[in-house]
């Protein structure tokens, strides 16, 4: 939806950045670079192999919305 994502976020800032799966690395790097992902609870972990809580997902979506991410309009 945002076009071609450029992987410009540095995952090495996170203690578990190397644990991000190969298939997800570009997307996670892009989300970090855009500021959508900042680490869990203010610490330097992404926990890429863990679960995602509803509040965490809502936070990522809120950050994207505030940054002007091109979400589609709701269907009628």
The pLDDT tens digits of the residues spanning 33-72 come to: 988 898 886 678 999 999 989 999 999 999 999 988 888 8
Supply the pTM of this predicted model: 0.79
Of 50, 48, 44, the residue nearest 28 (C-alpha): 48
Query: Of 40, 51, 52, which is closest to residue 15 (Cα–Cα)?
Result: 40
Cα Rg of the chain (Å, integer): 13
Neighbours of 54 (CB within 10 A): 7
Contact (Cβ atoms closer than 8 angstroms) between residue 47 and residue 16:
yes
* Rounded distance between C-alpha atoms, residue 56 and residue 12, angstroms: 21
């Amino acid at each position: 939806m945002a076009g071609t994502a450029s992987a410009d976020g540095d995952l090495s800032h996170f203690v578990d950045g190397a644990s991000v799966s190969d298939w997800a690395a570009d997307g996670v790097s892009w989300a970090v670079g855009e500021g959508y992902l900042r680490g869990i609870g203010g610490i330097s972990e992404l926990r890429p192999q863990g679960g995602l809580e509803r509040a965490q997902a809502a936070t990522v979506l809120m950050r994207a919305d505030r940054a002007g991410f091109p979400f589609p309009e709701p269907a009628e």
